[in-house]
C-alpha cells in the first residue's frame, strides 16, 4: 500500500543541478528527483550509499507543480559570479585550510583562487507530491518534521523559508488540492507541472539522469522521462 507526502519547497533561492560540473553549476527550472530524495535522506540522517533505501524511494511516482508570484516580474533564473578561495590570509594557518587544493595537496591556481559561475532559481515555490510505501511513510514524515541534519533547497546556501512537510495523504488528488490552497493563501499562481511520464500529447518530454541508485562518494543515477505541462493545459486535471 502507498501514500503521498506533500512537500512545499520555497525560498529566496533554489538550485537543482543535473549535469553541473567544475566551474559552471547550472540549475533546472524545477527540483530533481535526486534533490528531493536527498532532502529526505538528510532529514532521516542517512549518509553513505543507501542503495536499499534509495531503491524503495526512487521507484515511486513523483509530480512537481511550480508556483510563481503574481507580483514578481524579474527573470526566474539568476547567475552568481562566484570566487572560490579569494581574500584568504595565507599567513594564517587556519585560513590556509580553506584555500582550494588539488588532489596532490597543492593549490589549484595561483593564490588558490578560482572563478565559478552558479545559477539559481529565485522567488519560486514548488509543491512536490511523492508516493511513498506505507512501511516507510511514517519515518519519512517524522524526519521531515524533525530533521536530523539541516535540509536545504539544492545547495547549502539555499535555505527554505517555509516548512517543507505539509502532510500525508491517501491520494495525489488530496495533495494537489492542499497545495493549491497553500498557493492561494500565498498569492501564487501555477506556472507548470512536471509529470513522471513520457507523453508528448500533454507537453514537452525531457530525459533526466536524476534517479539516484547510490549516494555517497561514488554517486550513480538512472534516467527517467518527465513531461512538462503548462498550467493552462493541465487545468482540466487539477482541481
Query: pLDDT tens digits for 181-239?
Result: 999 999 999 999 999 999 999 999 999 999 999 998 889 999 999 999 998 744 434 33
Q: Give strand pairing partners of 224.
A: 208
- Residue 204's DSSP bridge partners are 228
Instruction: Calculate the average pLDDT of the chain.
Output: 87
User: First-to-last CA distance in the chain?
Assistant: 24
Range among 26-30, 80-84, 103-107, 125-129 rated most confident: 125-129
Distances (CA, A) of 72 to 14, 183, 223: 16, 14, 33
String of DSSP letters for the chain: -EEEEEEEEEEEEE---SS-BTTEE---SS--HHHHHHHHHHHHT--S--HHHHHHHHTS-EEEEEEEETT--S-SEEEEEEEESTT--TTSHHHHTTS-B-TTSSBSSGGG-EEEEEEEEEEEEEEEEEEEEHHHHHHHHHHHHS-SS---SSSTT---SS-SEEEEESSHHHHHHHHHHHHHHTTEEEEEEEESS--TTTSEEEEEEEEEEE-SSS-EEEEEEEEEEEHHHHGGG--
pLDDT at 201: 94
Task: Check residue 211 and give left, alpha or beta (phi > 0: left; psi -120 to 50: alpha).
Answer: beta
What integer pLDDT is reported at residue 85 of this predicted model?
62
75 pLDDT above the threshold of 60:
no
Average pLDDT over residues 11-24: 82
What burial class does residue 126 get, using C-beta atoms within 10 Å of its C-beta: 0-12 exposed, 13-18 middle, 19+ buried? buried
Residue 15 pLDDT exceeds 60 = yes
Contact present, 216 and 160 (Cβ < 8 Å):
no
**Torsional class of 22: left (φ above 0), alpha (ψ -120 to 50), beta (otherwise):** left
Q: Can you tell me the distance from the alpha carbon of 183 to that of 85, in angstroms, rounded to the nearest whole number?
A: 40
Amino acid at each position: 500500500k502507498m501514500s503521498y507526502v506533500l512537500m512545499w519547497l520555497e525560498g529566496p533561492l533554489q538550485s537543482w543541478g543535473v549535469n553541473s560540473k567544475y566551474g559552471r553549476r547550472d540549475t533546472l527550472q524545477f527540483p530533481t528527483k535526486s534533490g528531493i530524495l536527498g532532502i529526505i535522506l538528510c532529514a532521516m540522517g542517512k549518509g553513505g550509499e543507501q542503495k536499499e533505501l534509495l531503491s524503495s524511494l526512487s521507484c515511486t511516482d513523483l509530480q512537481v507543480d511550480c508556483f510563481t508570484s503574481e507580483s514578481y516580474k524579474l527573470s526566474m533564473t539568476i547567475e552568481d559570479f562566484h570566487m572560490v578561495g579569494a581574500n584568504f590570509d595565507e599567513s594564517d594557518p587556519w585560513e590556509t585550510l580553506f584555500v582550494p587544493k588539488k588532489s596532490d595537496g597543492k593549490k589549484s591556481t595561483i593564490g588558490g583562487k578560482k572563478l565559478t559561475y552558479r545559477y539559481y532559481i529565485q522567488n519560486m515555490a514548488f509543491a512536490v507530491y511523492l508516493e511513498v510505501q506505507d512501511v516507510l511513510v511514517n519515518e519519512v514524515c517524522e524526519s521531515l518534521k524533525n530533521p536530523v541534519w539541516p535540509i536545504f533547497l539544492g545547495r547549502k546556501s539555499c535555505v527554505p523559508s517555509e516548512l517543507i512537510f505539509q502532510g500525508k495523504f491517501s491520494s495525489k488528488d488530496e495533495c494537489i488540492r492542499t497545495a493549491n490552497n497553500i498557493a492561494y493563501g500565498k498569492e501564487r499562481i501555477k506556472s507548470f507541472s512536471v509529470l513522471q511520464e513520457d507523453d508528448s500529447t500533454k507537453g514537452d518530454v525531457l530525459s533526466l539522469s536524476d534517479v539516484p541508485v547510490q549516494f555517497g562518494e561514488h554517486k550513480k543515477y538512472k534516467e527517467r522521462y518527465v513531461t512538462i505541462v503548462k498550467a493552462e493545459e493541465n487545468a482540466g486535471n487539477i482541481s
